[in-house]
Structure 1
Amino acid sequence: MSIYVEQWHKYLRWMGIVLVIAVIIGLHAVWFYSFATTKFGEIRDGFLDLRQWDETSGDTLVLDGEWMFYPYSLIASEAAAKTVEAKPINVPGSWEAIIGSNFGYGSYRLTIRLDPDDKQTYAIYVPSVQSASQLYINGALAGSSGQPASKEADYRPYNVPYIAKAAADEHGMIDIVLEAANYIFQPNSGIELSLQFGEESVIVGRNSTSELMQQLVFTVFILHAVYAVHLYMMGIRKKQLLYLSLLLLIVLLTLAGNGSKLIYDWLPLSYEADFRLKGVLLALGGIVLLGLSVHSSAKRLLIIAKRALMVTGFILLCYSALRTGTVSFSTYIVFPLYVLSTLITSIIGIISSRSAPIYRNLYMLFLLTALFSTVVWEYVQLFAGISTIFYPLDLIIAMFCISSLMFKSYLNAVHENKQLADKLQQEDKLKDQFLANTSHELRNPLHGILNLSQTVLEREKSWLDERSVHNLELVQSIGRRMNTLLGDLLDLSRLKEGGIQLFRSSVNVHQVVEKTMESLKYLLHGKAIFMVNEVPAQLKHVHADENRLAQILFNLLHNSIKFTVQGTIAVRADVKEGMLQLSVIDTGVGIESAKLDYIFGSYQQISNQDAAIAASGFGLGLSISKQLVELHGSKLQVRSTVGEGSTFFFSLPFAEEGEQGSDDAGHGTQAVLSDAANSCADNGAATAAGVSAPAAPKRASDRVQHDRAKQAHHELAAEQCAAKEDYRINILAVDDEQINLQVLSNILSADHNIHLHCTTSPLEVLEKLADQSWDLIISDVMMPQMSGYALTGHIRETYDMNELPVLLLTARNQSLDVETGLLAGANDYIAKPVNAMELNARVRTLVRLKRSHRERMSMETAWLQAQIKPHFIVNTLNSIVALSTFDQDKMIELVNEFSEYLRASYNTYDTYKLISLKQELKLVRSYLSIQQKRFSGRLLVAWEVDEGIELMLPPLIVQSIVENAVTHGALSRSIGGNMSLTIQAQDQTVHFSIKDNGTGMSEQLIEAVLNGQNKNGTGIYNTNLRLRRHYRSGLSIKSKPDFGTEVAFNIPLY
């Protein structure tokens, strides 16, 4: 079976080569045809007639043909040489047949005749002249590369492409003289590649396109080379990645030295250095290619060829690095033959490979074939003298293959890592299971030891001597310690499985610490260590699992005892951010900073040289403590200095007042700590409930715009409270100095209606804007994260000065500072030090401003609610009377609808209150039914409403727009009209659309209605204001005179 598979793989490889070659040949043909140059006329005796050529065709002409050559004469720069006899020479081509050697110098000449009236600017592209040249147009120097000279001492070789502008003289003639010299390059001389002639924009554009494509391809090559090295450094230790990276760089630098020769823009290379670099790159590329493609398992003949070529490559590498002087013909030929030989050997090696996966062989074949095509194409152009635009497709194919190989290597590495990780997890699980089972088995004998020793101690204590009693007590302590270790093993297993639950209650921390220290005192025997409980006895209780808290403290204290030779171990309580922070502090050996990252891992032990004897146990205590602390919603952290000791600390929330135990004293230290926890002194406090922790910073602009709908609901809730009970004033204060916040708290706390929320972070202010309705922002001006001016500007992006007043506190009372604050959008300012009476007065003034704004909006809503127009009532009653004489059934229907409409319109619900969409639509239905009955067939209503939408919205939002669409829209025409109501749920919003085919409005009228400048559009103006107030977005009106109107808006779903 394997024979057939191998044959199939070989067949696939050959088919892949054939397919890639076919594709490459086809792409070359298409590319060459698309960017081909043309010939017009024939150059003879250095003359070309282009009078019949259409210069606007966009064609690029090649100036191939019979130029005139002046051997050993520089006719443009040396006037005396113009008498030298000229000889015809074919361009492109060497002057060896005329001079007898490729070393020497001379001048090429071509005269182009154009129409005398031709004022067009042309350009000549000179791709390659060996090995220095200067181009003169009508006697003026137009471009150069290097410095040609009659003496080798004055000669400077340099061969890069350049473009020269050309324009006909008054007789329509362009006289082209190209001076060239070569004293270094033996294989060739003079014009190597075809010169190109055409309109300046065409030549420049063609050259720019070629350079741009080269830069793009080279950039991608560099990125993939870096990516391959990065994969290797990340842990995918496969030498193929380094080979691929090196191969990419070699191909990049080699090709950058050809064509447009961009390498000269990157590196300050001389002509000789360029050839040395090319030689080194070609030799090294062959070595890398052989190492990548021919493996040690290849056939013997291939191994021999590989070794021979690699030895040859090293020889060429050394020769290129050390070579000086002229470039010989043999050197010029050897390198292409070497590269082609390595490519062919590599292709054969891939085809015959059996060890590598088929996908890798196929990609390598495609890669080598593409590189082979690139090399062949480069040398074909060079030897044939063809100058064309850069061809990138072979390199793109090669890049695709290399990318696929790297990506596949990455996927394989990920798969292997996953398999190893799964295996490690399985082994780790088996290990934990073994330890858990062992702990279970050891508990039985341990139970006997503890109980028997306890029985003996209680029964025989009066008969035993002091030493025996001490030994039995020691057995008890050691047994309890062993029980704790076994418990750790079980807890570790349960923690990994998520099987531990916390049973929280009100916990007296002082007592827990005291009991835990008592259980560990036996470990202090023989050590000069003092354990100190610095937790106040009357400390406010915490909300925690008492047993788990004792376990955490036990592990931390036991760890400190192990690694402390002498000194003090203390447990201290502090209040941080409204929570109790417990710290276990020792004066032990400390922990190196490099080890702090992994000490909380399972089975990890600190192995300091001074503590090697003390290190014992399983190394589970810190790991279990860390996970138990995290279950409490906190984080176990450590600070340590080698030789000075360590501090482990974590935080716990305080218990609610109702959870306090009977031993809660409520005075002394507890009162102090409770007050501290409930003040603004720690990182911005709220009320007596505790301190609100600063949130993680985000972008300020995102915070201001966050959850606008949520803020609208908070405002509505506050409005309802304001209407029903004593007014609650919510003030948010921000200052980077805690003492300043404490001052504000002391001043404003005298007013029981004021609820002050403090923070030290301006970014947190922007986050809290959507949490609830705020009546006032008090901000310091100078803060590190964001100034008060910037904070005010961000607030004003969403809230105007009436919606949310801002009071700035500043230590500077200069007029410029005040002006800056007011321009930023602040309502008022007050200078430090703050006067209590002034602060209270300004706060009250700004709060009344906010309340008056809210009351005004409320009054406008109530006014709109009362807008039942008298003529509508009178007309409806007249319709009822008229129907009573000939259609009593219809009259009864109209009376019922009118009754429903009046009941809904005069409903006494609070104007602050949100009503359901169904309530709003009930009023709309009644109104439309009355109007349809009154106007019979003149009013047609289309109703497209998703009845399943559950939405709360301010009252009379839809009804006022519908009434406007009927009165001023559909019924504005004498023949009547149509009105449609569409309500549809979208992603996170409900879309409302009310359309009519009435007389429509102009853009000016729409603007006047929305701005409140049109008296007839008061309802629309009020509705727009209410929508903007509640949802930060108003009405969208689209209308055109005589074509009707559409009014639309969106309300968020939440």
Structure 2
Amino acid sequence: MHRNEKAAWFARVLLISLIGLIGFLLVPLSGKIGGDERSNPWIVQKGGLDLATWNPERDPVIPLDGEWEFYWNQLLTPDDFRQGLNMPHTGSVSYISVPSPWNGKLLDGIKLPAYGAATYRMVLTGLPPAEELALKKTNIRFASEIYVNGRRLLTDGQTSGSPAGYRAGNSPQLGIFSAAQGRIEIIVHVANYDYVNSGITDSLRFGLADRLIADRQLALSKDFVVLSILGTLTLIYVICFAAASAYHIRDNSLVLLAMICLLFGLYHGLMGERALFPLLEGMFSFEVLYKMKDFISVSACLSLALFFHHLHRSKLSLRITQVVSIALVGFMVVIPMLSIHAYTPIQVYVIVLYQIVQFWHFLVAAQLFVRGERGARLKLLMLCVAVLMINLYSLDTIFFALGIHKSAWLAQFCIVIFNVVMLPVVVLRFFEAYQTVNTMKDQLLRLDKIKDEFLSTTSHELRTPLNAIVNISESLLKGVEGSLSDTQTRNLSIVVDSGRRLMVLVNELLDYSRLKHGDLALQRSAVDVKAYVESVIQIHGFLLEGSSTKLMNGVSDHLPPAYADGNRLIQILHNLISNAIKFSERGVVEVTAVTIGEWMEVRVSDTGIGIAAEMRERIFLEFDQGEAAQYGGAGLGLSITKRLVELHGGRIEVDSELGKGATFRFTLPLAGNEVETLADGRSAASVRSVSSPLGVRPPEYPLYVAGKEQEPILLVDDDFANLQSMINMFKLEGRTFIVVDRGQLALETVFSRSDISLVVLDLIMADMSGYEVLGRIRERFSPFELPVLVLTARNSSEDIRIALENGANDVVAKPFESEELMARVRNLTELKSSVKLARNAEIAFLRSQIKPHFLYNALTAIAELCVIDAGQAEQLTLRLSSYLRSSFDFKHLEAMTTLENELELVKSYVAIEQARFGARLQVEYELEANLGVMIPPLVIQPIVENAIRHGVMSRSKGGTVKLLVIEREPGKVLIRIDDNGCGMSGGQLDSIMKPDTAAGGIGLWNISQRLRLLYGTTLRIDSREGTGTRVEMELPTSHILERGETTAYAAIDDRRR
């Protein structure tokens, strides 16, 4: 910083510090400046004041300040004082200073509370003869009655010794009376059960009636002047906002300023002399009006906080502004709901918070002024002064509310100065905006010229390579290098279609440039509109492949020809039909035409999403897509269409309702009576063949492509080009995959197959959201059981977070590189394989855990039978061998076995156990299903083993196990295992269905999980203590082993034999 700059910086710091210091010193000095603390020779002492020397002409008004008699918690009438010879019998006399609140005062060593009732009394003596006298009260909180010489002179609210009979009231009042005897007794009843301070907080003024009336009128006039100034400023700001809005400029600071002026005007009309009370007292009670005053005050504070933040968002913390706004809004909600007594204590904290924030605003404004640039310092200085005025206004209002100041003249002055200062700030902002607009206009004109030149040059440069791409691709499609496979034909068709789309965009850019510079000339002739419509519909047929949207040509064969440029008519129809297709996922796009006088009106109607009323003009602006940007495009098509229609001398309009589609109507002049040749010299038939699609239709979905792997990957996307590109990538990798183009079809595929290894899912699809598909998948499969790789066009951190939170394993942003996509696919498929291997290893380990005591018991039984029955011992040995062979087979963990093989395993196990337990164990079989049904291995034997070991054998007398296998309905087999053993409690049942309760064998949880993954079903278990247990499962009979087929398990058994 140079020496001169440093000196200037110190000068600005000194200036703003001086302004702030003077401003804040005004608050404590305002009482003296306003006359609140001026010398008063007439002081009430010990409840009396001698006015023998009073000169009404010199001092027409006297404030009755000083020591008044004070009777706490008593409402004494004039009769009470007369009967007690000026001393009431109810208690001794105390004295209190007036004006001041009684709360906090010590009376007989006790600090008085804010809530209660009291009587004030004083006597004026030695009054000289005078005309009519008057007494004016300004602020007695919070209900009062004033008696003069035994007569009730003024009443405000209703005083009472308890809250039950109390009614608030506190408005400035003036009462007129006369004093013929030269003595005046003034008794004031005061009650308060609402406000935080109580008593006579402002001077009672006594004097000549005409002078007091004049003073009140002067005070009201000042209030109305302030109201007029603030009302005028409100109107000015509203007019400025309306004028800015007419030019599409929304300056919310003007609205906030208008609200500030209006609210502060209303607030000042409801405080002080309460100038607006006479207009409202007939409609509302005092309590409602007082709440209205507080509500308006808080609303004004909220508007100020928002206004200052709006002016300097970069400097003022949004979070602090939000906290203050929430506090103010919360208090605004509380005010109408609670009584004055209930919300007043909260008001203190709200005011303190608001005042701290206002002081912070002043410091920020001062900092901006000190560090501001030279050209902006005047505006920043005025802003700093405005913020200072608001601070002074708030402080003076607080002091007035607390009774420290007896008038709010400084607050009125500051709020007027604030708005007067803000007015030139607003004018300066408009002036700066005008200068900015002029500067930007010149820049935009230069940039627009550069843009036009760039578009024209770039478009010409793009046409040659695009033409080459399209022509070479078309020649390959036509067989220049030999015949092509269906896949090659499909891929080249996509290349041709994409190239044509780019050509359309390039041509639009060229047309836009030519139209703008007036270089486009029409070659008009008589054209058959129906033929041209048919041609464009055929061109767009390829775009609708796989879509339920239909194109219809409803133009009559009997319409007369139109007088138009054929090529430009094709362009108009192409743009309108493309637009209709883009916004119509399903339904009908229809083209019709009618003649109206010497014009033909062509209508392109769709049943799409429709267009909002405010968007109907914007859609024809250059590069303005409105709310349709998500559908792609450059925003030029409809603009060029409008210009082309106007070049023909016609007009274009749109009729639409949201959700009900749109109808574009454009007019063309009719030709003469004869139908002339087409503008380009060709027949209508030749026109219909222009740019017709050359590709073949995409295949029916789902499409299965076999590769090197057994488990397929599911590809889900509704964009044909994206799907085809992924198909090519996965083919190069030798992957096995299934392709679907709809979310519902993806769910059907996932739920109908148990071998899907990965789902590659696009989030944006026509029939249902990718998030919905993802959620449905996650309802059945965890991220480890079936990984999902999400494709999204948006790659912000927020979108990625949401996708991952909804169950995606990984996210790839479109457009993607093939290497990145395939690397992520490999990672996720390897993850699935690792999880699968880990699960199989766990199952193998559990299957191998044959209990030693089981083998010991089985061998002991065989040894005993060798002595008694050698034949039975041999059979039991074979059963044990078969059982062990099945238990130790780990090579085909995922293979299926037949129901017959599984039942053989069950019978082997049962025979061994029956040899041990004899008649205590009974097993009954009811088999009425096809034994060739394929089922997962080891889903019945572990349940039977559990029923024997933990069910019937837990009872001393044993029991019976029943195994039922029956085909209940076509396509499903029911397997049920019943036992009459000891049964289980609810807690035991919950425990055995946890993953850590296999206890060295294949637990029920393991079986249930395998069934869920394979079939989407689980075990059904019903058990009661002392009664027994039933376990059921339903399995599909989708594959039944025919004669001659061999399962993996059967083949292994054969080799071992």
The verdict on a shared fold, with TM-score over 0.5 as the criterion, is no
- Pick the structure with greater CA Rg: 2
TM-score by length of 2: 0.44
TM-score by length of 1: 0.44
